[in-house]
Amino acid sequence: MKRESRKEDPLVEWLAWLMDESVRIGPWAIGIDPLIGLIPGFGDMAGAVVSSILIARAMQSGIAKSAILRMVINVALDSLCGSIPFVGDIFDFAFKSNVYNLRIYREALHGERKPLRDWLFIFFVMLLLLVITLLPIVGLIYLTRLLISYIR
E strand or H helix at 145, and its extent? helix 115-151
Alpha helices (H) along 1-114: 10-20, 32-36, 43-61, 65-82, 87-94, 97-109
- pTM equals 0.79
The confidence band for 6, taking pLDDT boundaries of 50, 70 and 90, is low
Task: Give the gyration radius of the chain's Cα atoms.
Answer: 20
pLDDT in tens, 46-82: 888 999 999 999 999 888 999 999 999 999 999 888 8
pLDDT in tens, 78-110: 988 888 888 888 888 889 999 999 999 999 988
* pLDDT at residue 113, rounded to an integer: 85
* pLDDT at residue 1, rounded to an integer: 43
